[in-house]
Structure formats: structure tokens, C-alpha cells
């Protein structure tokens, strides 16, 4: 017996719209939540058309373009939401498209998983869905592949539309304290080396977070305990959590490490997770909350590095006094509901020099969402303030210390910073040694 996909009926309308408007094949992503019993699809988004239209193969999707779209979308999904698979709208025979869909879903999973810093769990579902929709007959073909098995063959799956799929999902949120020192390579102008060092340093923090004690509404719940009210239809439950992290004694004992500099990430990140209403367990809430904390911190560090690469650095080639400080704010999270009737949100990351209109444009481009400024939730995170002079006080919810750099090593790629966070703000500072 194959897996069952419970699909928000809005997705049916979205796919019907693609059938009516398309002049050729359309591919896209299916987004939702996996569980051991069934899958929940809450939204779908078509992959934006590539301006240069260089896709080869005529009716075949551009695999590189689709996978990059999936990577960007994955960054915009809070805890509990993930890319479950891909769809294609084409009048090509369904059986003839299975090979193409198989290649797409494996490529998407490989790229997304390459950015994950958390460890997979035994109860993680490795099946991914592919959906073929014929725009003329409106018939659908739903199959799954096990992405952990390179030799996986297509398995049949049930695709069932339902209204209000996520209307009563539970929300769990917390603020996670961060205080991490990340070493940088001897040659900080080597972009790949710098990115690798940052990733490995954050991976160590991610492993530390995995062992953190999770309190939900101030209580330590048994792993198999059900969240209260999880089975009540159309009743939304919200929970406040705490993640208590203990120092990693093994890492503290490693001693001095040779490096070309360091990044000090300090402050806090806002983490949130959504859980389906079919008997959600405390174990799942904890897992999704921790993964979201890791993902959002990693995403911000990656985005800042990409921004510095694009801009060439703030003061490339300039000389500076060894006591001069520079401050860089990481982007902060902006949330937007998937549907007005439900609690589930997606998010975007907004740099301090960006307006809400740019967030709206990205939501439209990446998730095909028609959002307005009134739909955006900017209260959960407030941009960090860039402080002048010495920052002697501890970072607060809206402020963070400065970054001290003793030499400029932007070179061609990397600035003297990466990220400091405050509960509602993000900023990162790096000390050159």
C-alpha cells in the first residue's frame, strides 16, 4: 500500500489554474509536512520561467533551474514545512514523464540536503512525491520515490483533496540563545574555504543544539506525549518552548586552533514550528523546533556571505586602524501566512536596507504568493541596531555588540563579519586575529 497525501483544496485550484494558463509544460514544487502515517500538502508553487529560456529538451524542465528554485524555497520554509516533491503540468504521456520527474525529485533532494546541518532521525520519511497533471484531461498521476535509495522505483500513492488541511495545526515557538566562535581559514579571501569553515563551525553548534533539553509551556514532556488539543478540529493550539543548551565540554577541551580569524555569533534567533493536527507528539515538536533554529541561523550566514560576494565587500582594499570596528546586520525574518484562514506561515529574510515591497516581490517570484504589506508579520523579529562606539553592554532583544576587526580581509569575497543575533534581530561580528 502506497503513501497517502492529504492535499489542501487550494492546491487543486492552483493546479487547475496552471492547466488553463499554460502554453507549454509547467513544473513546480509541492510543499507540506511529512509524518510516519501520511503526508500533508499545504501549497504548491510553479518554478519561475528562466529569462534566457536555455532549457534543452523542448518539453523537459530545466533541472538546474528547478533545483535552484527548490533551494531558495527551502530557505523560506519554517519548521514543519519542507519541499515534499515536484509536479509537472504537461500533455505528454504520464508514463513518459516519470523518468524526468524521478531525476528532478532526486536532484532537488540532493541539493536541499547538502545545506542541512542537522542529523537525520530514524523516523524521517524519505519518500518524495512526483505528480503529473494532464492539462487537457485534468487527470493526475501520483507516484513516490525513496530518495535514500538510488535504485528506487516508482510506487503508487493516493492523492486526496481536502479543505482546511492546516486550519487547526499547532504552533510551537521559542527564542534560542546563540554564542558561537567560528574559526576562519588562514587565507580568508578563499571563498570556498571560508564558507566551509563557517559551515563546519555551525555544524558543531547544531550538534550541540540537538542535545538541548526542550521545555514546552515550562514542562519537560515525554517523547511520546501528545500535545494537548492536537486532535481538536478547527482549534489552533500555540505553545511556548525553551531550549536549554549545555556547554560542549569536548569542544572546550580542544584548546587553541590555528586560524586566520574568527567569527563571533552571539545573541538569539526566533524559532517556530508547525505541527499537523493528527495526534502531534512532543518528540516531533522538539525535532522541528531545533531544526528550524539551525536552518534559520545557517540561512542568514549564507545570505550574508552571498551578499558580500555580490557587493564585493563594504570597504574592499581600504586600510583600517586596528581598533576600528565594523558592524553588519544579518537579515531578519518576516512571516507571511500561506492562507488567511490558517496559522501556517512561510518566511522571507529582509536586510536592513530593504523595504517590504522587496519581500512581497520575492514571495511572488519564489512562492507565487500575492501578498500585501498588511499580510506581513514583522513583529516577531526587529532589525538589530548598529551601535556607534564601544558596545560594553550585553546584547538585548533589539541590539547587539559590534564587530572588531584588526585588518581588512574582504579580499575578493569575505568581509570581516558574518553574524550576530538578538532575539528579534540578527547581526554578526567577526574578530580578526
Contact 348, 336 (CB under 8 A): yes
Query: CA 120 → CA 206, 207, 291, 406, 419, distances in Å?
Result: 12, 11, 10, 40, 26
For residues 249 and 275, state if they share a domain: yes
With 0-12 CB in 10 A as exposed, 13-18 as middle and 19+ as buried, what is 2?
middle
The last residue of one of the domains, among 117, 134, 162, is 162
Query: CA 248 → CA 80, 106, 179, distances in Å?
Result: 27, 35, 12
Contact 205, 180 (CB under 8 A): yes
Residue 369 lies in a domain: no
For residues 157 and 182, state if they share a domain: no
Contact 429, 327 (CB under 8 A): yes
For residues 235 and 193, state if they share a domain: yes
For residues 127 and 213, state if they share a domain: no
- pLDDT of the residue at 384: 64
Tell me the pLDDT tens digit for each residue of 243-279: 998 776 555 445 556 666 777 777 778 899 999 988 8
Above 90 in pLDDT, residue 21?
no
pLDDT category of residue 348 using cuts at 50, 70 and 90: very high
Residue 361 is given by DSSP the state H
pLDDT category of residue 420 using cuts at 50, 70 and 90: very low
- pLDDT of the residue at 278: 81
The last residue of one of the domains, among 162, 192, 214, is 162
CATH number, domain at 106?
3.40.140.10
What distance in Å separates the CA atoms of residue 416 and residue 314, rounded to the nearest whole number? 9
Residue 99 is given by DSSP the state H
For residues 203 and 156, state if they share a domain: no
Averaged pLDDT, 122-131:
94
For residues 230 and 129, state if they share a domain: no
pLDDT category of residue 240 using cuts at 50, 70 and 90: very high
What distance in Å separates the CA atoms of residue 420 and residue 6, rounded to the nearest whole number? 40
The last residue of one of the domains, among 162, 189, 217, is 162
* End-to-end Cα distance, the chain: 59
Name which residue leads in pLDDT, 234 or 82. 82
Residue 81 CA from chain centroid, whole number: 9
Residue 221 lies in a domain: yes
The torsion of the CA quartet 4, 5, 8, 10, rounded to 10 degrees, works out to -130
For residues 141 and 247, state if they share a domain: no
Residue 348 lies in a domain: no
Contact 87, 132 (CB under 8 A): yes
For residues 231 and 292, state if they share a domain: yes
| Positive or negative torsion for Cα 135, 136, 142, 147 | negative
Tell me the pLDDT tens digit for each residue of 211-228: 999 999 999 999 999 886
For residues 219 and 275, state if they share a domain: yes
Contact 274, 230 (CB under 8 A): no
> Strands, DSSP E only, in 11-137?
26-34, 39-46, 82-89, 127-133
Task: Give residues with Cβ within 8 angstroms of 425, minimum separation 6.
Answer: 267, 329, 332, 381, 382, 383, 384, 385, 397, 398, 399, 400
Contact 431, 261 (CB under 8 A): yes
Above 70 in pLDDT, residue 338?
yes
For residues 123 and 188, state if they share a domain: no
Residue 340 lies in a domain: no
3-state secondary structure of 173: strand
Above 90 in pLDDT, residue 404?
no
Residue 113 lies in a domain: yes
3-state secondary structure of 145: strand
For residues 257 and 388, state if they share a domain: yes
**Long-range CB contact pairs, 194-200, < 8 A, 24+:** 194/305, 194/413, 194/414, 195/302, 195/305, 197/259, 198/263, 198/301, 198/305, 198/418, 199/117, 199/298
Residue 75 lies in a domain: yes
Query: CA 214 → CA 218, 223, 246, 247, 325, distances in Å?
Result: 9, 10, 12, 15, 37
Task: Give residues with Cβ within 8 angstroms of 203, minimum separation 6.
Answer: 117
Q: What is the pTM of this model?
A: 0.85
DSSP bridge partners of 272: 173
Query: CA 327 → CA 182, 400, 402, distances in Å?
Result: 17, 9, 5
Residue 346 lies in a domain: no
What distance in Å separates the CA atoms of residue 191 and residue 357, rounded to the nearest whole number? 31
Query: In the chain, how long is the greatest CA-to-CA distance?
Result: 70
For residues 28 and 98, state if they share a domain: yes
- pLDDT of the residue at 305: 78
Residue range(s) defining the domain that contains residue 98: 4-162
Residue 317 lies in a domain: yes
Other CB atoms within 10 Å distance of the CB of residue 245: 16
State how many domains the chain has: 2
Amino acid at each position: 500500500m502506497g503513501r497517502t497525501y492529504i492535499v489542501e483544496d487550494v492546491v487543486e485550484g492552483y493546479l487547475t489554474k496552471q492547466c488553463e494558463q499554460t502554453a507549454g509544460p509547467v513544473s513546480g514544487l509541492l510543499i507540506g509536512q511529512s509524518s510516519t502515517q501520511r503526508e500533508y500538502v499545504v501549497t504548491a508553487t510553479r518554478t519561475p520561467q528562466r529569462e534566457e529560456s536555455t532549457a534543452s529538451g523542448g518539453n523537459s524542465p530545466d533541472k538546474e533551474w528547478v533545483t535552484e528554485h527548490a533551494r531558495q524555497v527551502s530557505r523560506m520554509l519554517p519548521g514543519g514545512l519542507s519541499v515534499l516533491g515536484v509536479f509537472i503540468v504537461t500533455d505528454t504521456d504520464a508514463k513518459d514523464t516519470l523518468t524526468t520527474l524521478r531525476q528532478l525529485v532526486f536532484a532537488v533532494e540532493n541539493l536541499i540536503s547538502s545545506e542541512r546541518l542537522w542529523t537525520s532521525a530514524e523516523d524521517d520519511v524519505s519518500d518524495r512525491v512526483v505528480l503529473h497533471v494532464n492539462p487537457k484531461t485534468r487527470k493526475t498521476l501520483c507516484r513516490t520515490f525513496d530518495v535514500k535509495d538510488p535504485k528506487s522505483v516508482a510506487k503508487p500513492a493516493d492523492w486526496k483533496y481536502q479543505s482546511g488541511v492546516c486550519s487547526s495545526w499547532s504552533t510551537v515557538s521559542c527564542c534560542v540563545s546563540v554564542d558561537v566562535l567560528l574559526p576562519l581559514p588562514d587565507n580568508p579571501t578563499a571563498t570556498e574555504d571560508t564558507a566551509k569553515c563557517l559551515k563546519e563551525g555551525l555544524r558543531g553548534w547544531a550538534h550541540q543544539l540537538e542535545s538541548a533539553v526542550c521545555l514546552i509551556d515550562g514542562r519537560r514532556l515525554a517523547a511520546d506525549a501528545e500535545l494537548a488539543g492536537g486532535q481538536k478540529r478547527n482549534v489552533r493550539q500555540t505553545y511556548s518552548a525553551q531550549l536549554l543548551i549545555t556547554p560542549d565540554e569536548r569542544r572546550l577541551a580542544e584548546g587553541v586552533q590555528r586560524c586566520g580569524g574568527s567569527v563571533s555569533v552571539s545573541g538569539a534567533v526566533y524559532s517556530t514550528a508547525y505541527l499537523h493536527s493528527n495526534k502531534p507528539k512532543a518528540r516531533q515538536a522538539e525535532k522541528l523546533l531545533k531544526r528550524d533554529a539551525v536552518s534559520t541561523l545557517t540561512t542568514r550566514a549564507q545570505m550574508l556571505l552571498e551578499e558580500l560576494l555580490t557587493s564585493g565587500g563594504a570597504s574592499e582594499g581600504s586600510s583600517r586602524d586596528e581598533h576600528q570596528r565594523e558592524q553588519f546586520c544579518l537579515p531578519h525574518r518576516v512571516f507571511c501566512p500561506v492562507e488567511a484562514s490558517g496559522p501556517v506561515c512561510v518566511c522571507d529574510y529582509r536586510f536592513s536596507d530593504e523595504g517590504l515591497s522587496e519581500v512581497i516581490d520575492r514571495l511572488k517570484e519564489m512562492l507565487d504568493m500575492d501578498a500585501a504589506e498588511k499580510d506581513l508579520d514583522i513583529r516577531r523579529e526587529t532589525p538589530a541596531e548598529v551601535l556607534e562606539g564601544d558596545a560594553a553592554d550585553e546584547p538585548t532583544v533589539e541590539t547587539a555588540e559590534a564587530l572588531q576587526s584588526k585588518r581588512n580581509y574582504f579580499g575578493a569575497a569575505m568581509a570581516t563579519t558574518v553574524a550576530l543575533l538578538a532575539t528579534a534581530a540578527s547581526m554578526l561580528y567577526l574578530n580578526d586575529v
